[in-house]
Amino acid sequence: MTQIETSVSLAVHPLLGDECSRSFREHGHWTGDTVADAFLSHDATGADRPAVVGPDPLTRAQLIDRARRLAGHLRGVGVERGDVVLAVLAYDTAAVVTTLAASLLGVKLLGISRDLTAGRILGLHAAAGPTAVILDRTGQQPDDRTALDRVASGTGTGRYLVADDEDLPPGAARLADVWSSAPCYEGNDSDASSCSVLIPTGGTTGEPKLVQQHDDSLVYSSRQSIRCAEITEDDVYLGVGPFGHIMTYFATYIALVSGAALAPCAGWRRGSDAAELVGATGATVSMMTSTHAYDLLQLDVEQGAQLAPLTRIMSAGKPDEFFTDLEARYGLRMLRLYGLSEVGTHVHVSLGDADAETADGRPMPGTEARIVDPETGAVVGAGIAGEYQVRGPSMCLGYFDGDAATIDSLTDDGFWRTGDLATIDERGFVQICGRIKESIRRGGITIHPEEIETLLFAHPDIVEACLVGSPDRRLGQIVNVVAVLGSGTTLDISDVRDHLLANGVPRKELPDRLIEVESIPRTDLGRLSKRHLVAQLEAAARLH
């Protein structure tokens, strides 16, 4: 496969081919609308309606004004259609404005959370090569702030926009000043078939993979979620999660496409931030992971009462009891769904699916899903577990500068290998059962072991080690380091975490527990047998 070009209009999807691309357009799954197109259609008829609610509220007219001014500034300093813009922000009003401005310009937006370490931010900068940087440095240490300023300023005068109130580096611009005084960009260069967002997935200390998603996919998935949850412009959508995660992109897109007001939740604090925001804004609908559900169940009576306006939560993850308990406690409707960055949300329970029970939903219109035997690749029958594979309108354009990884993720007939274990029953309901891949899913964050294991082997007191997940009620999984230590040495989890932090692993990917063993089981080929370890940890979890 040659490098996938996403800076020009792609009439034919590079992974799906001409037949699928034509079919998706003929059946209305791809309409050519971008998030900017969809929002502008609402803006023309309700300029004074709320677009963003919460600490920094904006009407539709105010949101488009800020977005056009940001787009105008970026175009004025030479940012062109197809360029990469890196935005390091909390998920707040600034993130929503930036997403809309990026769509108007037709640039690739690489949004990431400001809570990432400076090392991780710099690694993503190096991987993507952005033309402009928007950066909130809140919480960064002085030396890290200096390093970030130096690299961001290297993009050129006016191409580094500071989103906080700290000192302004030479040549940088203040985002708030741009919103108030930059000339408006009156164009709309968005193209639904070209890459619109880059979503980091995998990678910890080396070069991460960046998923290239496009608005044909994101708007399709958003409209299907709007249909399933019956979202209207009278709703208020509570957006939770770190900026740049697929879930916060969907929060922004669903709100802007449906015309609903968006309440972006910049914090979480075990659910209390979200409860306060729901109480203040009257948010009626949201999308959450099982970790969010767990935290909402731990709120006290007074905090929980603030959630009364919520009527629907679209949800993903396990265990099922979190969602049934949440429905029972708060009297709302949980709508299960499934997706991932590479193929978006494409399985969904609808409000009318009274018989869904604990299923994750049915594939959305136009989406083909199948279960195959992981060993043979043969399609299996209804109710039989195997690898879940999918092909449909929500498929990404591949990985940014990662053709080999893209090829490895595709079957010969164009289905995406998800690495998830699942079943599909006779009614078409999908049930996700676990992971085939060795990646660990903790609290909605996917952690890939390979690079962390390399760093563990570099620790002077560790002879050999591997990273495995084990069940956890709140997070879904926790991360365990199983290690053989050198003779006469002692080590605890804090030592391991300090070592990994010093080598650039972000805090959100640090292990939870160190398990010391005399030896690690191996396969007949001499490889570390993680399956054996996982089975032992799962058995221990059941005993407790």
For the chain, give every domain's residue range: 17-424, 442-543
CA dist., res. 448 & res. 537, Å (int): 18
Cα(first)–Cα(last) distance of the chain, in Å?
49
For residue 232, pLDDT beyond 60:
yes
For 379-388, how does the pLDDT look when each residue is reduced to its tens digit (9 = 90+)?
999 999 899 9
For residue 350, pLDDT beyond 80:
yes
Among the ranges given (212-216, 256-260, 287-291, 341-345), the one the predictor scored with the smallest mean pLDDT: 287-291
For 529-544, how does the pLDDT look when each residue is reduced to its tens digit (9 = 90+)?
777 787 777 666 554 4
For residue 228, pLDDT beyond 50:
yes
User: Are the C-beta atoms of 10 and 194 separated by less than 8 Å?
Assistant: yes
Kindly state the average pLDDT of the residues 451-477.
Answer: 89
CA dist., res. 261 & res. 240, Å (int): 14
For 43-102, how does the pLDDT look when each residue is reduced to its tens digit (9 = 90+)?
566 899 999 999 999 999 999 999 999 999 999 999 999 999 999 999 999 999 999 999
For residue 467, list its beta bridge partners: 481
Beta strand pairing status for 195-201 and 209-214?
antiparallel
Q: What predicted TM-score, i.e. pTM, was given to this entire model?
A: 0.85
CATH level 3 topology of 442-543: GMP Synthetase; Chain A, domain 3 (3.30.300)
Average pLDDT value over all residues in the chain: 91
Kindly state the average pLDDT of the residues 161-186.
Answer: 96
For 19-48, how does the pLDDT look when each residue is reduced to its tens digit (9 = 90+)?
999 999 999 999 999 999 999 998 566 899
- The percentage of residues in the chain with a pLDDT greater than 90, rounded to a whole number, is 74
Beta strand pairing status for 236-239 and 285-289?
parallel
Which tokens go with 494? 């804090």
Domain range 17-424, CATH class:
alpha beta
User: Are the C-beta atoms of 79 and 107 separated by less than 8 Å?
Assistant: yes
Residue 337 three-state SS: strand
